[in-house]
Amino acid sequence: MSVMMMNKGSAFVLPAILVCLVLTAFPVRAADREAGRFFLMGDGKLHIKNMHTGREASVSLLMPDGSLDEKGFDRVDEVFGFPTAEKGEHISPRLIFMLDYFSDLVAPGKTIRMVSAYRSPDYNSSLRNAGGNVARTSLHIDGMALDFNIPGVDGKALWQIIKEKNCCGVGHYGGTNIHLDSARPRFWEAATSKVRTGESDYNRRMHLSTDYDRYGSGEKVRLSLSAVSDFGFGVKREAVIVDNSPEHRTVAPAPIGLSGSGDCIRIGNRKASRFITLSLPPELRPGRYRIRIGFCEKPFEQMPDETLSNEIEILGRMP
């Protein structure tokens, strides 16, 4: 079961507000331990409604002690139509906390109306075959995206606010609806959408993401690949931690801990692509980093040789 299933015994602590960090020592200070697992977080409360199914819920994302509320995320999954037990994970918590952050910013307490939530691969294909403006590798398939609006909020203005944060994927096709996803920062409007250009074919636009934004040195990390067009490729066992400079200089090795022999780990299906694990080096100093993985046994020459994760912050040694 993924760490995203957030068992009640989890020691992960998440406050309801995002605080600034000043890291001056290798061990985690008390103030740093209180920092949220995500860079963007709201007050931890959402009212969401699925406009297609009519399901809605007012949820708390955080327990009184600041830990993630498992029951709250179960209810979020229900409204999204996400098959939690089958997937072994929740709708992306990073996505939900970003949604919480931006909704609190522009319309605190108002209902978030979802017009497109989770899509199964088959449903996504049916929409695409019917002529819909739907990407073959849509992040809706992996529970990392939604399209939504908030009553009384201008869609273009909200798009601009999210775009300026440079945190995620955000699209606006006109009107009040916004697309938001928790993959790499990028933005588009109707005229610049590349949905049917084939740009993501041959696994050219795969995204590597971590469960959280903040970790302790030596902590276990789950990595997930999304926007995969074709399975049946390999991931090199030797991943590396790189710094956050433009050159992404190598800092330390971080071998992937999946079972199997050899240096090339086969990714044969979607489930395998969502559960890639490694442990951060215990000597990793506080700071901002990314994780780089390489690919092997590539089925297409157009497929990249490697990819980088989202930015993560290391706090030091967790107590």
Asked if residue 93 lies in contact with residue 4, where contact means CB atoms within 8 angstroms, the answer is yes
Confidence of residue 65 (pLDDT cuts 50, 70, 90): confident
Residue written as tokens 């955000």? 170
Fold held by 40-192: Muramoyl-pentapeptide Carboxypeptidase; domain 2 (3.30.1380)
**pLDDT single digits (tens) 298-313:** 999 999 999 999 999 9
Predicted pLDDT of residue 156: 97
Contacts of 93 (CB under 8 A, 6+ apart): 4, 6, 37, 38, 61, 68, 73, 211, 212
Domain locations in the chain as residue ranges: 40-192, 201-317
Q: Which ranges in 81-146 belong to alpha helices (H)?
A: 84-87, 93-106, 121-129
Q: Calculate what percentage of the chain has a pLDDT beyond 70.
A: 87
- Among 57-66, 109-118, 191-200, 210-219, which stretch is predicted with the lowest mean pLDDT? 191-200
The enclosing H or E element of 289 equals strand 287-296
Q: Three-class SS of residue 95?
A: helix
Which range among 146-160, 185-199, 274-288 shows the weakest confidence by mean pLDDT? 185-199
| Residue 200 to residue 229: CA distance in whole angstroms | 7
List Cβ neighbours of 119 (8 Å cut-off, separation of 6 or more): 127, 138, 140, 141
Q: What integer best gives the mean pLDDT of the chain?
A: 88
Each residue's pLDDT tens digit, 15-55: 333 333 333 344 444 334 445 899 999 999 999 999 999 99
CATH 2.40.50.100 fits 201-317, yes or no: no
> What torsion do the CA atoms of 129, 133, 137, 142 make, to the nearest 10 degrees?
-100
